[in-house]
A = this chain, B = another copy of it.
Amino acid sequence: MCRWAAYKGEPLYLEELVSSPAHSLIEQSHCATRAKTATNGDGFGIAWYGDRPEPGRYRDVLPAWSDCNLRSLARQIRSPLFLAHVRAATTGATRRDNCHPFVHGHWSFMHNGQIAGFDRIRRQMEAMLSDELFESRTGTTDSELLFLLALEFGLDADPFGAMEKAIFAVENLSREKSGEALVRFTAAFSDGRALYAVRYATDHKPPTLYAAPMGGKSGYCLVSEPLNDEADTWVEIPDGSAVKVTAEGMQALLFQPEVLSEAA
């Protein structure tokens, strides 16, 4: 179980999520309270959108709590749209290429969750990728592969639809291989314009996801767990949901990969 936080709204210093709040992401890297594993010390990463079409990124394998570079960057960089992640490794060794957020072109992606039995279906998942996406894979995590599958299935044209297809494909592969499937998936991703997030699990037990207004008009923050104790501020996003944050505010939708099955 990892922890993450994402923001879209008026430009905000990254430290407003990463290091300043009582229960900031760095604090959660040491003492997460709503996670299976309290320690998220297997690396971290930030991706933010600035003047360029592609996001900037900084990630490293140290625990977030001891990285002075991260503190300095979070204090200097201000962005209208950013993602931040601290990792507790499940699949994939502790190394930079396995740290979230993953970036491909103007897309960024980060994830908390896992694919049960990933080792048994990794190869078939990779086989679904085009040569170009296959070659862009640099790590070994299930998270990066889910992101590349979503790109393969049309993330640009239909972000949530492509993500549903990716998860549906993984569940199908699992069932074919072992008779059962389990994907738990609480993720955030962005193309530099909107911020997308999904909370879904095959067994309806997805990792937590909360939202709160932040940073002035129509700005929103999405997080694995609340950044402070003001319970009234935070709304829990329900299982099977997708949310989209744009200049018009936050919009919630159903996220149902299983419907693809019925349609098929």
**Footprint of B on A, CB under 8 Å?**
30, 38-39, 41-42, 48, 50-52, 56-63, 66, 68-69, 72-73, 75-78, 89, 93-97, 119, 122-123, 131, 134-135, 138, 140
When C-beta atoms are compared, the residue in chain B nearest to A43 turns out to be B66
CB pair B75–A52 under 8 Å, yes or no, is: yes
Residues from chain B with Cβ under 8 Å of A56 in the complex: 72-73, 75-77
Residues from chain B with Cβ under 8 Å of A73 in the complex: 56, 58, 73
A interface secondary structure, majority: mixed
Q: How far is the CB of A60 from chain B (nearest CB, A)?
A: 7
Instruction: Determine the distance from Cα of A58 to Cα of B69 in the docked complex, in whole angstroms.
Output: 5
Contact residue among B38, B51, B61, B140 (Cβ-Cβ distance under 8 Å from A38):
B38
When C-beta atoms are compared, the residue in chain B nearest to A119 turns out to be B135
Instruction: Determine the distance from Cα of A205 to Cα of B211 in the docked complex, in whole angstroms.
Output: 44
CB pair B62–A62 under 8 Å, yes or no, is: yes
Instruction: Determine the distance from Cα of A214 to Cα of B4 in the docked complex, in whole angstroms.
Output: 40
CB pair A62–B95 under 8 Å, yes or no, is: no
Residues from chain B with Cβ under 8 Å of A96 in the complex: 68, 93, 95
